[in-house]
């Protein structure tokens, strides 16, 4: 069985999408459609923008979404995956790929998400750090014990790596305590405290948009970040999507659950490539892996 998996923020790169645009009439049409939907020339930023341009949340998120879904739609004719999943932002791409949302609705939601998250980051400064440690429970325990600041376990990426998120003080204090426990704490260059309570204002903003978006029953299960479970129920999809902004990304658990359900072939779609497959490799050495670019 085969799953298609879609990357999130951090998978951007200079010139992304230009080769697609030049080689496929389907891709060209979708890029033009995206420019019209967003009411600015995002394709120009993707093709010609600097690294700094592409790091802006309001650009990064729609750009990564577009690169992945246009790759999928233009190169993956008649694809019928057994399941889809996406890391953080990539969950929106996974829903479009599974037929739960139209391309234009997915793009509009992603852009609203990006703008809401950027506003939340400007309102309250936050950050994230990757913690290299063998026991995730130590990270969870230390984060739970810091009650004067906000810090939570945010991204369960793979065995040995868990990303924490929160206020500057909270992440610094958790990193200090975890370093004393023998962990390695690596500060991440991000615009805010994603997947933490500091994104609550963004979640409230996005909730209205999600509730007003037509979401249909997908043709295959979508494994969602918040609970790592395969979902086809539309009401559950919407609830999980709303809660995703302040809840953790359970990527390791998603891959483990897919493997347990008989999925052993993973195809990463779009972005700079092999970010998610690298995580899959650390979870299972036996899994079959491919890129669709």
Q: pLDDT for 42-85, tens place per residue?
A: 999 999 999 999 998 899 999 999 999 999 999 866 788 999 99
d(CA 263, CA 282): 16
- Per CATH, the number for 125-188 is 3.30.70.250
Q: What percent of the chain is predicted at pLDDT more than 90?
A: 95
Region 100-120: what's the mean pLDDT? 96
d(CA 251, CA 195): 13
- pTM, two decimals, is 0.96
Predicted pLDDT of residue 77: 65
Return phi, psi of residue 144, to 5°: -65, -30
| Residue count of the chain | 293
Q: Show Cβ contacts of residue 147 under 8 Å, excluding neighbours closer than 6 positions.
A: none
Predicted pLDDT of residue 11: 94
| Range 2-122+197-292 classified under CATH 3.40.50.1980 | no
270: left (phi over 0), alpha (psi -120 to 50) or beta: left
Predicted pLDDT of residue 112: 97
Predicted pLDDT of residue 190: 84
Three-state secondary-structure class, residue 105: helix
Q: Is the pLDDT of residue 225 over 80?
A: yes
Q: CA-CA distances (angstroms) from residue 36 to 18, 30, 104? A: 18, 10, 10
Three-state secondary-structure class, residue 3: strand
> What residue segments make up the domains of the chain, in order of their start?
2-122+197-292, 125-188
Query: What's the mean per-residue pLDDT of the chain?
Result: 96
pLDDT in tens, 154-205: 999 999 999 999 999 999 999 999 999 999 999 998 889 999 999 999 999 9
221 neighbors 101 (Cβ within 8 angstroms): no
42 neighbors 59 (Cβ within 8 angstroms): yes
CA torsion angle 111 72 102 226 (round to 10) = -60
pLDDT in tens, 13-42: 999 999 999 999 999 999 999 999 999 999
Report the largest interatomic distance among the alpha carbons of the chain, rounded to a whole angstrom.
55
Active site residues: 88, 195
15 neighbors 8 (Cβ within 8 angstroms): no
Predicted pLDDT of residue 191: 83
pLDDT band with cut points at 50, 70 and 90 for residue 243: very high
Q: Show Cβ contacts of residue 142 under 8 Å, excluding neighbours closer than 6 positions.
A: 174, 177, 178, 181
Region 132-140: what's the mean pLDDT? 96
Would you state the structure tokens that stand for residue 156, as one six-digit string? 């369960």
Please tell me what DSSP assigns to residue 9.
T
């Amino acid at each position: 069985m085969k799953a298609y998996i879609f990357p999130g923020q951090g998978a951007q790169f200079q010139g992304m999408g230009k080769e697609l645009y030049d080689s496929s009439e389907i891709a060209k049409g979708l890029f033009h459609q995206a420019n019209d939907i967003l009411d600015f020339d995002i394709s120009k930023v993707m093709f010609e923008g600097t690294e700094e341009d592409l790091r802006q949340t309001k650009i990064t998120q729609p750009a990564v979404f577009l690169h992945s879904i246009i790759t999928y739609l233009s190169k993956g004719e008649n694809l019928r995956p057994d399941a889809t999943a996406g890391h953080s932002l990539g969950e929106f791409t996974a829903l479009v790929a599974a037929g739960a949302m139209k391309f234009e609705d997915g793009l509009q939601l992603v852009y609203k998400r990006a703008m809401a998250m950027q506003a939340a980051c400007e309102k309250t400064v936050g950050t994230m750090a990757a913690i290299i440690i063998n026991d995730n429970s130590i990270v969870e325990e230390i984060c739970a014990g810091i009650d004067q600041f906000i810090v939570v376990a945010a991204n369960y990426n793979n065995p040995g790596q868990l990303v924490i998120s929160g206020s500057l003080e909270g992440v610094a204090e958790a990193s200090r305590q975890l370093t004393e426990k023998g962990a390695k704490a690596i500060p991440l260059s991000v615009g805010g405290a994603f997947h933490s309570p500091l994104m609550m204002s963004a979640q409230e903003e996005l909730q209205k948009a999600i509730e007003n978006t037509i979401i249909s029953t997908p043709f295959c299960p979508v494994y969602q970040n918040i609970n790592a479970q395969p979902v086809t129920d539309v009401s559950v999809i919407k609830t999980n999507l709303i809660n995703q902004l302040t809840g953790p990304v359970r990527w390791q658990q998603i891959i483990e659950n897919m493997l347990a359900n008989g999925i052993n072939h993973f195809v990463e779609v779009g972005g700079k490539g092999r970010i998610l497959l690298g995580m899959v490799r650390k979870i299972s050495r036996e899994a079959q892996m491919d890129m669709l670019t």
